[in-house]
Structure 1
């Protein structure tokens, strides 16, 4: 196949950017032609607030560039990952103007939530889920804790709901879990356009030894990731279970303080990504204490399963759909006492850990291999192409903003 992949990279690379890289590599490894249209949020620094707000709603530059790329490379489908803020939904219309179907992967909840997390005040929030104008997100300054920036995101969401963009300009959506699919349907996206395709690892890393005798956390050091819950749990655990933390973020000072107070905690700041697999594979288990739903089953959980490493995760969102006792355990979200109890129990039960290592790898082999992902992705592309060919879309309308 001939595919054009569009993605707006974040300032700080994370799981979403890694997913895009893995998908591009997978397609090319199977002989598909892949053209990439990528922008970076580094460019935002030089923009004024009004210019950025206008581009978030409708980027004339992205519209023109997308049409030019399609005219040159003639892809059979355009697959979007992140369009926020620089590509904008204008690129969907550019693809349709060139008679090419569109696919959008739903990595987060951006299309139904101002901060893309369905999260506020330390817990899940769905107040804007079914709102044409997500005014709660503006009132609570949900995006970057800034009311003006939140208003710009809300304006983009409202404008494209009213234009029918989410209904008409995207031919197929890719949700990364059944849980997120249900949330997007509740948020107004057309149910018949949303397919579920899990994330995956590529290349496949192979099982780890699990003989490191430590728990590991890998991810952003932030409130929504449950880092405070993690640190509070280890206050009560003391030095009984070693914990290695890999990541950075706004709660780095709290992690630094915890390391100074508890000899069992080690912060591996700036660890190269290629070493993360080794770190996860040698761990007794991985801890993911997210306070937010997560947009899908987090990539780090899939990486843990690939290494045969059990997980201890918050009991909400997509994680409850796949973590079932055979491959890990769940604890009450935001409850450090329950997390500590689960860690204490698991850390002292070597027989159960051995069984869970087998279960974790079996879960990966059933659900998250590159081969299964490739088949699912081609089926979604075929579905988008058939849908686009099978109905007449409304005339493409260019919108000029700022």
Structure 2
């Protein structure tokens, strides 16, 4: 099978890049021909605001590149991983014109929400959900805290809804969880075109021991990730278990202040994935305190691979991944008292915690291995090809 994978790369690499690269690497390992068209977001600095806005709506350059790729070789599918902002949905139309099936992975909520998060002013916001013109995103300057930049995103969304890009130029959408799938359906996307395929961890990092005697947070240090909830909860614990924090972001100063205030909190900054997995495997549990509707929760699945239970906010996709009482615990989002209560309970039930370690690894093997993901991805590709040709 020959696949054209299309994506924008981020200036700061994150879980979306890791997941996409894992997918492409897995396909190659299984003998498939994967061609990649990539735009680097560093290029944004070379464009004027007007050029950037126009390119976000319709990139003639990207359209021509994809048109040429598809005319020079025979592809089975075009898989759009991320087109925003440099590539634009013009590539969907180029593939449609060439008669090649198009699959779009929904790695965030950009097609429903200008800032892609459903999160504003420290809380969940669905003001734009279901609106043909998501104008609240402009009023609030939701993209990059700029009304001008937000207007360009809203224009892109409005133009392509008017052009029926998402109903006519895409054959299948891949949502990462059922929660995300339902959000897109609620936003007006055709239910019959949205299938679910989770992310996965490859290569398998192997199970850890959980004997490190600490809790772990891995992720961006930002408001939507719930860092303030996490730090406030640690001040309320009955038992001051050490907390290691891996990552960087706008709340770094707040984390530094917490380390000065609480000897149990340690900030490790960014770490290579090998070190992250090693620390994850030795942790007693991972804390996932997000306040927004995560589309997936790759860090949680990496913890499952290491046999590490997850204490997560009961919100969005992460609440779907964590089976409370079996692979971890859930707490009320943005509620440090309830998070502290769940951590206290877990620390006072070591037998249950040990059983959870076994169950999390079992959950990983059942749902998130490369083998299972590959079978599901090829199934989607073949179903899409069949539906396209029918």
TM-score category (smaller protein): over 0.9
* Alpha-carbon distance between aligned partners in 2 of 1:32 and 1:348, rounded to the nearest angstrom: 50
* Alpha-carbon distance between aligned partners in 1 of 2:74 and 2:206, rounded to the nearest angstrom: 37
For the Cα contact (< 8 Å) 2:238–2:344, is it kept in 1?
no
* Alpha-carbon distance between aligned partners in 2 of 1:35 and 1:107, rounded to the nearest angstrom: 20
| TM-aligned CA deviation for residue 239 of structure 1 | 7.0
Q: Match of 1:398?
A: none
The 5 Å alignment of 1:325-340 reads 325-340=325-340
- Choose 256-265 or 328-337, whichever is displaced more: 256-265
| TM-aligned CA deviation for residue 72 of structure 1 | 2.7
* Alpha-carbon distance between aligned partners in 1 of 2:136 and 2:53, rounded to the nearest angstrom: 19
| TM-aligned CA deviation for residue 220 of structure 1 | 0.4
Q: Match of 2:101?
A: 101
* Alpha-carbon distance between aligned partners in 1 of 2:344 and 2:239, rounded to the nearest angstrom: 11
List gaps (5 residues or longer) in structure 2: none
For the Cα contact (< 8 Å) 2:6–2:83, is it kept in 1?
yes
Q: Match of 1:354?
A: 354
Q: Match of 2:378?
A: 378
| TM-aligned CA deviation for residue 121 of structure 1 | 2.0
How many residue pairs end up in the alignment?
389
**CA deviation digits over 1:146-188, x for unaligned, max 9?**
1111111111001100110011111000000000000000111
SS in 2 for 1:117: coil
Q: Match of 1:164?
A: 164
Q: Does 1:18 align with 2:24?
A: no
Relative contact order (alpha carbons < 8 A, sep ≥ 6): 1 or 2 greater? 1
Q: Match of 1:394?
A: none
| TM-aligned CA deviation for residue 252 of structure 1 | 0.7
| TM-aligned CA deviation for residue 120 of structure 1 | 1.5
SS in 1 for 2:345: helix
- Choose 364-373 or 214-223, whichever is displaced more: 364-373
Q: Match of 1:219?
A: 219
The 1:320–1:157 alpha-carbon spacing in structure 2 relative to 1, beyond 3 Å, is: same
* TM-score normalised by length of structure 2: 0.98
| TM-aligned CA deviation for residue 204 of structure 1 | 1.1
* Alpha-carbon distance between aligned partners in 2 of 1:69 and 1:278, rounded to the nearest angstrom: 41
SS in 2 for 1:320: helix
* Alpha-carbon distance between aligned partners in 2 of 1:6 and 1:236, rounded to the nearest angstrom: 46
For the Cα contact (< 8 Å) 2:214–2:284, is it kept in 1?
yes
| TM-aligned CA deviation for residue 238 of structure 1 | 8.0
SS in 2 for 1:237: coil
For the Cα contact (< 8 Å) 1:112–1:130, is it kept in 2?
yes
SS in 2 for 1:200: coil
For the Cα contact (< 8 Å) 2:280–2:306, is it kept in 1?
yes
The 5 Å alignment of 1:256-271 reads 256-271=256-271
The 5 Å alignment of 1:106-185 reads 106-185=106-185
| TM-aligned CA deviation for residue 114 of structure 1 | 0.5
| Aligned-CA RMSD value | 1.1
| TM-aligned CA deviation for residue 232 of structure 1 | 0.9
List gaps (5 residues or longer) in structure 1: 391-402
For the Cα contact (< 8 Å) 2:239–2:344, is it kept in 1?
no
Q: Match of 2:298?
A: 299
| TM-aligned CA deviation for residue 374 of structure 1 | 0.6
| TM-aligned CA deviation for residue 322 of structure 1 | 2.8
SS in 2 for 1:236: coil
* TM-score normalised by length of structure 1: 0.95
SS in 1 for 2:253: helix
